[in-house]
Structure 1
Amino acid sequence: MELELTGNASSVIPCGRVEHEMDPSRRAFVAAVVSVLAWPEDGMKAESGDGPAAPRNFIFFGRERQRISERAFLEHPHIVGAQLKYTWRELEPERDRYQVQPLLDDLAFLEARGKRLFVQLQDVLFSEEPVVPDYLRTDPAFGGGAARKYEYEGDDESGARFDGWVARRWDPAVRARFIRLLEVLGTKVDGRIEGVNLAETSVGFGESGKLHPRGFTYENYVEGVKATMTGARRAFPRSCVIQYANFMPGEWLPWTDRGYLRAVYAWADRIGVGVGGPDLLPYRKGQQNHSYPLIAARGRHTPAGVAVQDGNLGGSIPPRGNA
C-alpha cells in the first residue's frame, strides 16, 4: 500500500465484539504490524457475522491538527481517519469552563469528508509546556496538579534529566477533575468519534524514591490508572476507549515483575477498554518484554491500537543478522 503522507500511522483493531479468538502466534504478529498494514485477521469475525474484521488505519497527526485538510489524507481510500491530540489544559482553560469547540470543528470537518476522528487526550507532555489547567497548579487541594518526570541512563539517577510534566494520576482530587473532563467530552462526542485513547502509562520517577512526587506510590499509581480507565469507559459507552499501557513505574520485566502492567491489562479486559501503545518498535527489547506479549494475550473482545510515531521507523529495522 503506497501512502504519500508525512504524518505517522496509527491503527486500531476494531472495537466491536468478536466471536472467535485469533491464534496466539498470529495475534502477536498482527499486534506488531497493524500500525502500518491493513492486515486481515483470519480468525476474527465481526459480531454481525459479515466476515473477518481488519485493523482500521488512522494517520497520527498529533497536535498538527490543521493537517487534516491535506488532500493526500482526505483522498486516500485506505485511511479511515485521523488521530489528533488535545491537551487537558486547552480543553479546560479554567475550572469548569470547557473549550471543546476546536475539537468539535475538527470532528465536523472530518465527518463532512467521510473520515473518522480518534482523540488522544493528553495529561502528559514531554516538554516544559504545562499540561494541566492553572487552577490545578495553584490550588493547594491538588498538590500542584502535575509532577516533573525524568529520564536517565541505566540505574544512575544522579544524571536524571527533566522529561516533561504528567498530571498527578495517583491523586484522587486531580483524577476526579480529569474524569470530569472525560464526562463533559462524552456528552458532546460519544458515538460520533471513533474513539478516545488515554496517554501512555510510562512515567520516569526513578526507583530510589528521591525523585518521587509527593504522595506517589507504585500501588496508588496503578489504582489511579485503573480508575481513570473506568471513568473513560463510563463517559464513552459507545465510542472505543483505549489505554496506552506500555510500561509502569516500579517494575522492569522480566526481572522486576510486581504485576503492575499485567493488572492494567487485566482491568482493561474486565471493563471493556482497549489496550496498546504509542510506539511500534517490534525489535526493541523493552516493548518485547512489556506491552507486546500482553497485547497479544488480551481478551478476545478487547480491541488494540498501536501508533507509529516520530522516530519509530529507525527502531523498526531488524538488527543485523535477524532480517
Structure 2
Amino acid sequence: MRAPSPGRSLAGILRAIGLATLALLSISTFPVISFAQEAPRNFLFLGGDDPEDHAALLQREDIEGAQVVYNWRGLEPSEGEYDFAAIERDLATLEAFDRELFVQLQDRFFLPQARWLPDYLLEEEIYAGGLARQADTAGEGPDGSGWVAMQWQPALRARFQALLDALAERFDGRIAGINLPETSTDLDLDNPPPGFSCDSYFAATMENLAHARQAFAASPVVQYVNFWPCEWDNDHDYMGRIFAMAEERQIGLGGPDIVPHRRAQEKNSYPFFNAYRERLPLVAMAVQQPTLTYIDPQTGEPFTRAAITAYAQDHLGVDVIFWTIEAPWLQENGSQ
C-alpha cells in the first residue's frame, strides 16, 4: 500500500485544517474546492457493493477511492430517524486501505420493484405517493422501468433536504464528496404525475442542489446532469442555468456516462462541460457497465480506457472518473 502523498486526500487535508477554520468562512462566499490536476483521478464505481468485497482492486496503485450508492430508504428507515451505519462501515473500510469515499445519494430507481423510499413517504397523503413511475423505455412491460422521488412536491423535498442536513452534520469533511443523482428521468409527459411540470422539476433540482452546497461546507458537492425532461439542446435553458449556477456557487457537476462524441450527450450536457471546463471546481463522471457496450466508430471496437480518459480530460474537463469494476483494464489480465 502506498504512503499518503501530500495534497492527495482532500478529506485528510480538511481534517488537518480543522472544521473550526471552515466555520469562519461565510456561506455566501462559496469557497473553491477543487481536485484540479493534469490527469483524472481513478475511483471505482461500486454501486451498492461492500468495498470489502473489492479489496484487491481498491489497493491498486492507480485507484484512489470508491463511489458507493446509498438509497434514501436505507438511510432513513423512519421519519427523522437516520441510520448511517452503512456509510460509516464503508468509510472505515476505505480509510483502512488509505482510500476515499464518494457518496451517491439515490432518489430514483431503475427496476419496477425498487421503491426505496421510507414508508412514511409512500403512505402519508401529504407526500402524494412519494414515487412517480418512470416510463417503459426499455420494454420492461406495463409496470414501467422504475421510479423517481417526486421532488417537485414541497413536503417531500423538505424531507430530502433534512436528510442532506443530517448527512452533512455527520460526514462533511470526512468524505471525498457527495453527488446527487442524474437529472434525467423517463416520466410519461402525456400523463404527468401529480404536481409535475417541466419547470417545477427543474426548480426542485436547483433548490436541492443549492441546499446541498450550503449544508456541505467542506466536502465537495456534485450534481449529475445529463438530460432534462422536456428539454433538448438547451431549448428551455435548463442546462445553461444549472452550469451558470454551478460556476457561481462553486458546485461540482458530472454525469453517469462518458461516451466520446455521442450525439445525444453532445446535444445536451457535453457542450457545457466543454465550455465550463476551466470554470467549475470539480467535474466527476462515471464509466458504468452500459458505457462499455458503446462502439468507437474509429476502431469498430468498444472504447478503450485511453480513448475514454483522453476525451474526458481534453474535451469534458473531468477531474475524477468513477470506473465500473467490469472495465477490462481493471480485470486481472485486462490492459485496456
| Range class of TM-score, shorter chain | 0.7 to 0.9
Q: Residue 326 of structure 2 aligns with which residue?
A: none
Task: Give the whole-Å Cα distance in 2 for the aligned partners of 1:240 and 1:144.
Answer: 32
- 1:214 alignment partner, SS class: coil
| Superposed CA offset, 1:75-101 (max 9, x none) | 211111000000001000100110101
Q: Provide runs of 4+ in structure 1 moved above 3 Å.
A: 51-54, 319-323
Q: Does 1:251 align with 2:231?
A: yes
- Write the distance in 2 (CA, Å) between the matches of 1:109 and 1:87: 19
**In structure 2, do the counterparts of structure 1 residues 52 and 121 end up closer, same or farther at CA, with 3 Å as the change threshold?**
closer
1:146-165 to 2 correspondence within 5 Å? 146-152=131-137, 162-165=144-147
Q: Secondary structure at the match of 1:290?
A: coil
**Structure-2 residue corresponding to 1:307:** 286
Tell me, yes or no, if structure 1 residue 72 matches structure 2 residue 56: yes
C-alpha contact (below 8 Å) 1:282/1:288 kept by paired residues: no
Matched, 1:277 2:255: yes
* Corresponding residue of 1:214: 194
Q: CA deviation at 1:321?
A: 7.7
| SS of match in other structure, 2:271 | helix
What is the TM-score when the length of structure 2 is the normalising length?
0.74
1:260 is aligned to 238
Distance 1:141 1:52, change over 3 A: closer
Inter-CA distance 214–319: structure 2 relative to 1 (3 Å threshold): farther
1: CA distance between counterparts of 2:158 and 2:201? 14
Give 5+ residue unaligned stretches, structure 2.
Answer: 1-9, 12-31, 304-336
Report % sequence identity. 40
Alpha-carbon separation, structure 2, partners of 1:296 and 1:217 = 29
> 1:184-203, aligned counterparts within 5 Å?
184-203=166-185
Q: Deviations 1:35-82 (Å, cap 9, x if unpaired)?
A: xxxxxxxxxxxx99xx95542210001111x24443432321111100
Please, which of 130, 141, 148 is the counterpart of residue 145 of structure 1? 130
Q: How is 1:218-257 mapped onto 2 (pairs within 5 angstroms)?
A: 218-253=198-233, 257=235
What RMSD in Å do the two structures reach over aligned CA positions?
2.6
Segments of 5+ residues of structure 1 without an aligned counterpart are 1-13, 16-46, 154-158
CA 1:163–1:262 in structure 2 vs 1: closer, same or farther (change >3 Å)? farther
Give the secondary-structure state (helix, strand or coil) at the position aligned to 2:91. Answer: helix
**TM-score, structure 1 length as denominator?**
0.77
Amino acid paired to 2:286: A
